[in-house]
Amino acid sequence: MKKQHSIGNRVYVYIFIAFLIFYGIFVAIRAIRNSAFLDQRDRVNIVFYGEEPKLLSFGLTDDVNYIVSFTNEDRADIPGGYGRYAVGSFGRLAEVERNKAIIRHAFASMTSTYIDYYVAPKKSLGVFVNSDAAEPTYQRGGLIRSLFSANTYTNANFFDKIYLSWLIAKKRQSSFIPLKSTVVPGKNGAKPSFSEKGFQKKYKGFFYHQGLREESGEVQIRYQNYASALVLSRIIEGQGIRVVDLSLGETLIHQRCIVRHNLSSKSKTVYFLLKRFSCLEQKGDAGGSDILFILGPELEKEWE
């Protein structure tokens, strides 16, 4: 009886080990499929948030790279209905709200471009001050260490980290074109404010994905919340996609968002919208445009 009991225990152990192996393989395959190096991208944007917040933009097809640093005292709009906060306090707000994606959304709105990845301290170190937007620094070792540090949080999975480390390691400071933060003076002694419109106007086209631009897809956005549609339209146009119209939706949808079209399944524009915003794809009339991008309550809440 004891021998049979021992054999039965070993069988359960083997089954458990096999389950762990298959689960590990499943997780690895899913991570690889979602990684940047297997995605349809011409450009990768990553924000490193901290004492010296900066955006690195890598041109994968044209090798034109940008670096943007931000002054911590400048105030900017944070999507999600939070209002205007100083850049140096983004991390503190994200910690209070228990939502690190606030940092990603804030920089996407500021620069009118989609932020693929972000790296930020796991725990708020208070409010950052005294950053110098005029002198962005590029220290390869420090950037790579922050990607793998136990003290930072990032939306990049393990395979993304390897890929991003490779991108960072093969560049030098001279590989990047520095872009200046755009600000407007505060009124009545108030702190300066970051100008989203000014940045978009000054650097429109700098962060385009060449493939999206060449495809020339026309997108109509249908919304219930105009503020969300406006922010998303800036971000989408910042990738090289033409937004031809914003229109109020007749009915409220229950999905996060819907991408409706009659285009080829190989459309890069359709793929971008589906992948970046986690939307449902529908074949059907796009209301006179190539693509109809219908916003749902969940997505609008994130970007209002």
> pLDDT tens-digit profile of 281-300?
999 999 889 999 999 999 99
**Which pTM does this prediction carry?**
0.86
CATH value of 42-203 in 2.40.160.40, 3.30.420.590, 3.40.50.10300, 3.40.50.2300: 3.30.420.590
* Two tokens, residue 211: 């493939």
Q: Bigger pLDDT: 40 or 158?
A: 158
E strand residue ranges, the chain: 43-48, 54-59, 65-69, 75-78, 83-86, 117-121, 152-154, 176-179, 183-184, 193-194, 218-223, 242-248, 257-261, 280-283, 291-295
Average pLDDT for residues 212-239, to the nearest whole number? 96
Distances, alpha carbon 172 to alpha carbons 139, 168, 181, in Å: 8, 8, 21
CATH value of 211-303 in 3.30.460.20, 3.40.50.800, 3.40.50.300, 3.30.70.2390: 3.30.70.2390
Q: Return the pLDDT at 186.
A: 74
Q: Does 48 have pLDDT greater than 70?
A: yes
Q: Please, what is the end-to-end C-alpha distance for the chain in angstroms?
A: 67
Mean pLDDT of the chain: 87
Domain residue extents for the chain: 2-33, 42-203, 211-303
